[in-house]
Amino acid sequence: MSKEFTREDVNDEQSTEALAEMDRLTHEKWEAALEDGSLVGLECEECEYVTATPNAACVHCGDRSVSPVRLPKQGSVYSKTTIEVAPEAQGSGYQIALVDVGDARVLGRITDGERVDIDDEVELSGPYEYDDDLAPLFEPI
């Protein structure tokens, strides 16, 4: 997969202005950011809703004025589950969690072997890969 959204675009030093000047936030750019340790979301100018995954318009109000925003790397667990029966390539005995990162919420994978509970603080620890897709991986702080 070509990554038009490069390391330079998403590193921590990147200005908020540079982020806002991106074209539509695509899955490809979102994944590239994740690979570089950043979680990028979208904020709606109209209703201020913040989402943690790419959309072409606001998932809350439908307005197209959505701008990329960098989400915090630390967040707290909104809910979690430990999964024992899963597709084979996912393994078993792992956790997933809905994590509140700033004003957004994202579904992430918890580092293998770790256990988190609701309200625990977690930190983005990198991308988790499954079937050629990347997902946020969190570990307890």
Partner 1 sequence: MARASVVGTGMTDFGVYTKPIAELFADAALPAIDDAGIANDEIDAFYFGNVLGGATTNETHLAPQVASYIGLTPETSVQRYEDACATGSLALKHGVRAVETGDHDVVLVGGAEQCTPKGTGIETSEMTRIFGSGAHKQYEQAPGMTTASVFALHTQRHMHEYGTTEKHLAEVAVKNHYHGSMNSRAQFSEEKTVEEVLDSPIIASPFRLLDCCPFSDGASAVVIVSEDAAESYGVDPIDITGISHQANPVPVADQPNPPSTDMVRRAAQNVYEQADIGPNDVDVAEIHDCFTGAEILALEALGLFEDGQAGPATTEGRTRLDGEMPINPSGGLKAKGHPIGATGTAQIVELTEQLKGESGDRQVEDAKQAIAHNVGGMTATAVVTAMEARA
Question: Where are any strands of DSSP class E within 72-132?
Answer: 74-83, 94-101, 104-110, 121-130
Contact string 60-79 vs partner 1 (x = CB under 8 A): xxxxx-------------xx
Q: Does position 20 bind Zn ion by CB under 5 A?
A: no
Q: Which of residues 41-60 bind partner 1 (CB under 8 A)?
A: 51-60
Rounded to the nearest 5°, which phi and psi values hold at 46?
-75, -55
Task: Check residue 55 for interaction with Zn ion (CB under 5 A).
Answer: no
Q: Rank residues 60 and 70 by Cβ distance to partner 1 and give the closer one.
A: 60
Shortest gap between Cβ of 66 and Zn ion (angstroms)? 7
Minimum CB distance to partner 1, residue 16 (Å): 23
Establish if 29 lies at the interface with partner 1 (CB under 8 A): no
Burial of residue 123 (number of CB atoms within 10 Å: 0-12, 13-18, 19+): middle
Cα distance from N-terminal residue to C-terminal residue, the chain? 32
Contact set for partner 1, span 81-100 (CB under 8 A): 81-88, 90, 94, 96-98
Q: Which residues contact 131 (CB under 8 A, 6 or more apart)?
A: 89
Sign, CA torsion 111/113/116/121:
negative
What is the contact surface with partner 1 in residues (CB under 8 A)?
1, 26-28, 51-64, 78-88, 90, 94, 96-98, 104-109, 118, 128-136
